[in-house]
């Protein structure tokens, strides 16, 4: 029962209190005997607009360096989530999903204007790939791409790259931050999506 989760209740009340559309990162959820990595989206009244469970699980094995298998614990989600909200048509992915151009293309074909990827790339892949992938997904699909990452916590075990970012549909970085805690502000002119798609049909 998601509504019994403290994180869920906090996000719902925050959306309601501030009158915002809130894309709430990702938290583990249980359905039956399976665990999923799930992102929840709340509307201005605090009501749940929809949720998305991560499709591409991060299973890698680089000999002598790192082995990481999300599939040992988590189950992959089953489909896309497209949400018509007060701030535009939103599509969702989580972290590793950003590496898959086909996923963003499927969202684009469904008229998505804003892709949101909560994620936590590490300090090896982050410097090289984090912004690159956001700009690639944005320019491939002529849409806004927004990412949110935890700030770096060097005492907490896993160290995320940070650098939450907003990218426009022409691959321009509209706002970003470093690895420290903070807020990224960016104004999204949704007419730019239609303009870019009309000017350069892909």
Question: Residue 58: its pLDDT value, please?
Answer: 86
Strand partners, 66: 62
- Tens digit of pLDDT for each residue in 47-76? 999 999 999 998 888 888 777 888 899 999
**Rounded to whole angstroms, how far apart are CA atoms 97 and 55?**
7
This prediction has a pTM of 0.94
Per-residue pLDDT, averaged over 131-143, amounts to: 98
155 pLDDT band, cuts 50/70/90, is confident
Contact 60, 121 (CB under 8 A): no
Question: Residue 158: its pLDDT value, please?
Answer: 84
3 pLDDT band, cuts 50/70/90, is low
């Amino acid at each position: 029962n998601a509504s019994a989760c403290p994180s869920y209740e906090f996000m719902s009340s925050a959306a309601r209190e501030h009158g915002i559309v809130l894309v709430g990162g990702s938290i583990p959820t249980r359905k039956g005997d399976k665990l999923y990595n799930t992102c929840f989206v709340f509307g201005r009244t605090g009501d749940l607009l929809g949720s998305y469970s991560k499709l591409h699980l991060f299973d890698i094995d680089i000999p002598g360096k790192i082995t990481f298998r999300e599939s040992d614990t988590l189950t992959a989600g089953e489909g896309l989530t497209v949400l018509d909200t007060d701030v535009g048509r939103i599509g969702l992915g989580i972290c590793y999903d950003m590496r898959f151009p086909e996923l963003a293309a499927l969202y684009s074909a469904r008229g998505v204007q804003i892709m949101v990827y909560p994620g936590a790339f590490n300090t090896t892949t982050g410097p090289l790939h984090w912004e690159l992938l956001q700009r690639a997904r944005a320019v491939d699909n002529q849409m806004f791409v927004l990412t949110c990452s935890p700030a770096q916590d060097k005492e907490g075990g896993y160290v995320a790259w940070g650098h939450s970012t907003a990218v426009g549909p022409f691959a321009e970085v509209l706002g970003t931050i470093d690895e420290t805690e903070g807020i990224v502000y960016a104004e999204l002119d949704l007419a730019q999506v239609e303009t870019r798609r009309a000017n350069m049909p892909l």
